[in-house]
Structures are given as structure tokens and as C-alpha cells.
Amino acid sequence: MANIVQFENVGLRYGTGPETLSDVSFTLRTGAFYFLTGPSGAGKTSLLKLLYLAKRPTRGVIRLFGEDAGALPRQRLPGFRRRIGVVFQDFRLVPHLSAYDNIALPLRVAGVSENDIEAPVREMLAWVGLSDRGRAKPPTLSGGEQQRIAIARAVIGRPEILVADEPTGNVDPDMAERLLHLFDSLNRLGTTVVVATHDFHLINRIPNAHMMRLEKGQVSDPTGSLRNPPGQA
Amino acid sequence: MRFQLNPNAADRRLLDESRRTRAMSWIMAIMVFLTVLAGALGLGMFAATAQLDRELAGRLTVQIVEPNPQLRDSQAAAVLAELRRMPGVTRAQEADRARLAELLKPWLGDAGLDPDLPMPAMIDVDMRGGDVAAVERAARRIAPGARVDRHAQWLSPVRTFMTTMTWLAVGLMLLIATATAAVVLLAARSGLDTHRDTIEVLHMLGSTDIQVARLFQRRIAFDTLVGGLAGTGAALALVWFLQSRMDALGSEMLSGVALQQRDWFLLLLLPLGFALLATVAARLAVLRALRRTL
């Protein structure tokens, strides 16, 4: 399998503060499933932001889909972002749009015609078990429902990479397991999945998944106990 | 998300329009109202200046200044006959003496009617493409004391004033257009702040800057057009009312200020022009602001 993501000595600093990430190096293989763990404040969200191109590294090289993502001109970023699905920690659903319109958003951004939008959106609503909530607006949905809409929005465009930041943080254990199955089934279709989570119970549910641990802004495996740690760049 | 001129309902929903205020439409209504008034003033003054030019360009008065009434009358008759033979002279007519006396009455009283008062003979001449100098030469050959007054010369201060008013109207229109562009820039920036979260999500989903800019420019153009049409309607009603009042005055000079069909059409185009201006200003403002983000 080819590498879809490669981090080489990547550092990230916000303003003039200390480095949030330092010398992070790893590779992610196409079609694999990765868990990113680590204590709060370790830099998991920052690493994911680099991955979904919300930030540029302050040093080092990030190769994404074979290209130097840090050196991409602004006008090429939208094309790359359309190949990445993101489930944000705080969902980031557009509050005045219905669940249906939130899920349809990536397709509309990509210029898909309205005639070709309805079927996949209905399919996604059914996939996340919310067929009857299509017209509901996010403020009227529970945390778990919002989470599922966010996941449906992230995967509707069949992204090559799915990045999820604590996607089960707001749902009960049953729902968390169902969501994980959604990610797993997407991964089986060939999507590379990266999930940041604290939940080791969930991690154990995907036995073949790789694990990556961040601590104080650095990839760490001090005891050598991580399961299938990602390769070093 | 193609954001066409007539976007579908889904595109219209992307920016939360339920929270939109009508302030933009009101401001645009006022701006376009003032611009249409300024435009009507400018077009009216321009038309009046053109009419003045047309009417005065070939109009002159030949004065036969001769104290001897018999000689004055014979010179006047000879000059009149000569002028009527000249090419380019469309009309030559001696002014009615009784009428001249009437005009002098406020200053001279009944003395103005005294036949012994040495009043010059006045000949009104209308020309089309003729040579004024030739008229002057012909009049002086017959009556050495003859004077030729060009009407355009008398009214040149009026013409200068009217030209100034025309340029003032143009200046006002430019000033208002600039202020409108500034208002649109502020509205676009405020819109970007209000919808920052939505825009961030759109960007993360792969939206281009142009797609986001189109959302704003369409919305601002719509507000401008709605406000502009209202402002234009109100301003044109006011102009029509003023014009009907001027017509009632029956003034020959003010009649030139009247707007022609072409002028009304030009004024009707102003809201479209403002909508276009707002579209361009919004697009530039949004693209410029987005360029500072990743």
C-alpha cells in the first residue's frame, strides 16, 4: 500500500508561543485505519488540523496525496480539502441549515447538480439512522444526532481520508460503537480513517487498526506497547 | 453550489437570511434616491444648456443708433431689407416701437412714449449657419452707428452657471457612488464577521473563495437592487412633480430643463448601475478578506 500522508519533522507553533507539535514524523498508508491517542493538550487536534489543511506547519514537511501540502498555493487547497472528510470535535454543523442540507453541503460545494444530490443524501441519512430527521435543524437535534449528521457530511463525498476528532465524545457507548462501525465500513470501502480518541474500549473494537500516541506534542511510544504503530517517515 | 444569478433555494439558504436586516436596502434606497435627483438635475441642466446654445447661437439684435428719426427709420428699413437678402438669415424683424416703449416704461415713465425721445431702432435677427461678422459689416455699411449684440454674449453668465450645475450634479453622483461602494465594503466585512463560522465550514469542505464571494455579492446586489428601485421610484415621482410645476410656470428658459424620454430611461438604469457597483465592491471586499485566511 502506498503512503497517503507523510509527516517529516513537522513542527507547529501558534503565534509566538511554544511549539504545540515538534519533530512529528510518521507515515499513513492508503486504506488503513488509525487511532490517534494521547492526553488532553498533547496536540491531537493540532495534528488533525494539519492533516485536514486548516493549518500550515511552521516547520517540517507534510506530504499529502504525494504533494508537499505546506507549499500548496491557496487556490489549490479547495481541491485537496474535497478529498478529505472531517468530523470536527464540535461538529460545526451550519445551524440554520437542515440536517439534509448540512449533509448535502460537500456535494453542493463540489458543484453536483440538485438532481444528483437527493439520492446520496437520503442514503447517508439512512446510513446514520436519521432518515426521519432530515428536515430538523441542528439546534433541535441531540448531541448524538448532530454527531451522526457531522459524520454523514464528512463521508458523503467519498473522501480518500476521513479525519475524526473525538467523534464519540458526546454519545453513549452504544451509539459510540455504532459510529465506529460506520467508520469501519467506510474504511472497508478503501478510505483511510484517522480517529482521535481517548476511548481504549473503542480502540479495541477495531483489532487491525494502527495506533499512534501523542504526548507533549511529540509522537511517543515509550514502552513499545502500541499496537501497529505507524511507520516513521 | 454554482451560485448563479438565479440560484436555487439551497444556495439562498447558505447564508442565514432570516437574521438579515433591511438596513442595506434602506441605505441603498436613500443613496439611489439622491443619485437620481442629482442625475435629473444634471440631465436637466445639460438639456437646458444645449437648448440655450441652440437658441442663442444664431440670435442677434442690430441697433441703429441715430438721433435723427427720419434717417434712423430709413437706415433701419435699408438694413432690414439687406439682412433679409443675406444667406443664413432666417428671420429679420424690427422690434415694435410701442412694445419697446412699454418695456422702458418702468424706468422712464410716460416719457418713454415721447416720439422725440431718440430711441434706437432694434432689429431682431435669427440666423442658421450664417456669418455674424457679415451681418455686422452690412449693417455698418448702411448705418455707420449700428451696433450688433449677440444674445449668446448677454447670457454667457447664465450658461456658465448652468454648466457649473451640470458638473456639480456629476460630482454629486460620483460622490454618492463612492459612498455607496464604501457602505458595501463595510456591509461585506460585517457579513463576513457574522458568517465567519459558516464560511470556515465551507472552506473546510473545499469551497473556493469565489464561491463564498458569490454568496455575498448576490445577496448585496439583491438588497441594492430592491432599495435602488424603491429610491428610483420615489425620486422619479419627485422629479415628475417638479417638472409639472415648472411646466405650469410657462417659463421659456425653464422649459429647457425638462427631461426627455431618453433622460428618464437613463435615470431608470441607475439602480441597475448601483447593483452592479455593489456586486463588484462586495466581490472585491470578500475576496480580499478571504485572501488573509488559509
pLDDT digits (tens, 9 = 90+) for B263-273: 999 999 999 99
Q: Do B201 and A82 touch (CB under 8 A)?
A: no
CB B222 within 8 A of CB B39: no
Mutant choice from B20, B200, B205 vs A, greatest count of A C-beta within 10 A: B205
* Whether residue A87 has pLDDT greater than 60: yes
Residue of B nearest to A70 (CA): B294
- Please, are residues B16 and B198 in contact by the beta-carbon 8 Å criterion? yes
Q: Annotate B141-176 with DSSP letters as a single string.
A: HH-TT-EEEEHHHHTHHHHHHHHHHHHHHHHHHHHH
Find all residues with CB under 8 Å of A68, minimum gap 6, and list them. A61, A62
Q: What is the mean pLDDT of residues A99-105?
A: 94
CA B91, CA B59: separation in Å to the nearest integer?
Answer: 9
Nearest Cα residue in chain B from A82: B206
Phi and psi angles of residue A207, each rounded to the nearest 5 degrees, phi first: -65, -30
Contact A81 B2 (CB under 8 A): no
Under-70 pLDDT residues of chain B: 1-13, 16-21, 111-115, 252-253
Q: Does A71 touch chain B (CB under 8 A)?
A: no
Q: Nearest Cβ partner of B16 from A56, A82, A96?
A: A96
Whether A103 and A94 have beta carbons less than 8 Å apart is answered as no
Name which residue leads in pLDDT, A138 or A168.
A138
How far does chain A reach from its first CA to its final CA, in angstroms? Answer: 15
Q: Does B201 touch chain A (CB under 8 A)?
A: yes
Segment among A87-96, A142-151, B7-16, B87-96 with least mean pLDDT: B7-16
Is A109–B16 a contact, with Cβ atoms under 8 angstroms apart? no
CB within 8 Å of chain A, chain B residues 3-62: 8, 10-11, 13-14, 16, 18-19
Tell me what pLDDT residue A50 has: 94
Q: Please state the pTM of the whole predicted model.
A: 0.75
